[in-house]
Chains A and B, each alone.
Chain A
Amino acid sequence: MRLLVIEDDATLRETLCSQLGEAGFGVEQAADGREGLYFALEYPIDLAIVDLGLPEISGLDLIRELREKGKTYPILILTARDRWQDKVDGLSAGADDYVVKPFHFEEITARVNALLRRSGGWASSTLSAGPVMLDTSRQELKVAEASIELTSYEYKIIEHLMIRAGEVISKTELTDRLYDQDFERDSNVIEVFIGRLRKKMDPDNTINPIETLRGRGYRFALERNQDE
């Protein structure tokens, strides 16, 4: 999952980005509203974390513009102004949730995970489809109750596919979500990861969790379980 952090305080932005990176997210960062708006419009983003008090373009204006331009990914507001008026203004402008500064990092990851799940139509932090269960808070995958060891790239791919279960995800999109910008892109790597995932999750080829759609991409094919 690729996040965009728009925050003008350099220390806060850099530590936040490196912590999010450690937590398994691909992270873009912008230091002001103008740069942030450019990234938010041009880059493939799954969620934006926006500080309200930004130089150049205010956080509120930025959120309004993103929504006007048809961007539907979740937006989490970071705000030092925690009067309800500011929160309500932010939420009305199109944000989905807020975190008041100074926050604990766990608050951010919890909100980000919840927003990402919600954007994929999942209500709880455990995504379950057929025998497959992905606990996004513990980053743990189980198939038929058996835990499966995953590398961080493998986890990122199965999380992305499962969150958007039923949708076709292109190889390019998966590559974008996996790597930071400066990483050398090679779509063959995705095929390798998908192959490994299939082998780990479905060694006997019985459940076929990941479909390949030739020329279009991949799809997590299992039906979401009823209680979702």
Chain B
Amino acid sequence: MSSLSARLLISVFILLLFFFGATIIALDIAFRDVGERAREDILDGQLMALLAAAELNTDGQLEMPFSLREPRFGNLGSGLYADLQDFDGNHVWRSRSSLGLELPHGRIPAAGVQEFSRLVMDDGTPLLALSITVQWELPGGELRPYLFYVAESLDSFNAQVARFRRQLFTWFGAIAIILLFAMSLLMRGILRPLRQIEREIGEVEKGARQSLSEGFPSELSGVARNMNVLIGSERARSERYRQTLDNLAHSLKTPLAAMRSVLTQQKSPQLTDQLEPQIGQMTEIVRYQLRKPAATASDAIGATPVAMEAEIMRLVDGLGKVYIEKQPTIDVSITDDAEFRGDTGDFLELAGNLLDNACKWCNSRVSLTIRPVNSDGGLHLTVDDDGPGIPEEAADALLQRGTRLDESAPGHGIGLAIVRDIANSYDGEVSIDASPIGGASIMIVIPPAANP
């Protein structure tokens, strides 16, 4: 679960489920309880009415009037039933509504005690029953026990409860949906600054903006401020690193040049033999070590795509001047989708070293092709020449630092080693192959930058 709003919505949903569930259960219990109490009261009233209606006949038997005040006793299967039994369990009277039905009886209560019971009829209909045993005083003063019994079917009550429950679910469900919807709207508003910060960081990474904007809510302004400080110090650090290398290179190379110059002036073969190799070695070390790739992975922050075509054209113009006597034909083909996100200097270093080597070694033709690695972009740069080519066994060695295939073309090896280092620093690879136009073909593949 990576999104904050999804997390929050799911948490709220679970909370609502729990809270509304508990509320529904509590309301259901309360409603049922109140409903049953009311039923019991009504049943009690019915029983009292029956007791009031019962009369002794002339035979000294208890008798019920033909029609009672409660019409439901008179309607068949009305759901309200009553009967009257003597102490031996013989039916003295039963309501018309119960004709043909077997009414279940519960425990016989002690005399004068009302007893409620929940019973089930043979057909499964639930009943709420109330019975009372009454000691009826006969004219002779003798007491005879009778069992009065009223029962009401709970079908309609249960249906009412079910309807209530359905309504509860419907309303609470609707409220929950409205709450979640309102919540997600609120979240969108609340999380907007977070989204903005995310978008701005993305833009900084793509180089579309230099730093995060101001005016974030107080909870985020500290993060944004620290982020800006980090971006700034990262940029300054990489700039400082580059400048340090540059200055170091400059301050070492000029004295080396002066030493070499003085040595040449001395015209002493012995001194030259002794010192020239040392100067040569120092020169190689300084050239290689101080021409490290400008960019590292962390410098991807703020890296804009290099305007490759313009830079290549500058390079080709420059090389045209340097190789004016050889006048190699340099064919350039650049596909629009190709992209190099990084330092312009690094790009020039890649293309410059390869093109320079190709011009140095070619007979007359050099070709440079730039295309994307895949549909996401990336850089696939190939430089071909029609020179002598590079034997397969030498290719691996050439990609090592400072290896030279032929001392007559100084710098060939170091150039390729620099190309390899820079390509590697952008997660890229360099490979050497035979060119279709006859000489060497050197290929750099740098995958598309992982965009967030």
Contacts and interface: CB of A to CB of B under 8 A. Distances in A.
B264 A101 contact: no
B321 interface: yes
A87 B258 CA distance: 21
Contacts of B265: 15, 18-19
B262 interface: yes
Given A9-B254, A82-B291, A92 B260 contact: no
Interface string B321-358: 11011000000000000000000110011011100100
Tell me whether chain A's interface is mostly helix, strand or loop, or mixed.
Answer: mixed
B381 to A, nearest CB: 14
A53 B250 contact: yes
Interface stretch (B4-12, B42-50, B310-318): B310-318
B282 to A, nearest CB: 8
Contact of A84 (B249, B256, B287, B315): B315
For chain A, which range describes its interface: under 10, 10 to 19, 20 to 34, or 35 or more residues?
20 to 34
The residue among A78, A85, A100 with the most chain B CB atoms within 10 A of its own CB is: A85
Interface in B52-107: none
A84 B317 contact: no
Given A12-B257, A84-B349, 19 more contacts: A9-B257, A11-B262, A12-B254, A12-B261, A82-B287, A82-B291, A83-B348, A83-B349, A84-B315, A84-B352, A88-B314, A88-B348, A92-B314, A98-B322, A102-B253, A102-B254, A102-B258, A103-B257, A105-B264
A97 interface: yes
Contacts of B257: 9, 12, 78, 80, 101-103
A78 B349 CA distance: 18
B187 interface: no
10 contacts: A19-B265, A80-B251, A81-B249, A84-B345, A84-B351, A88-B318, A92-B317, A98-B322, A101-B253, A102-B259
Interface of B: 246, 249-262, 264-265, 279, 283, 287, 291, 311, 314-315, 317-318, 321-322, 324-325, 344-345, 348-349, 351-353, 356
Nearest to B343: A85
A199 interface: no
Interface in A42-80: 53, 78, 80
Given A15-B265, A104-B264, A87 B318 contact: yes
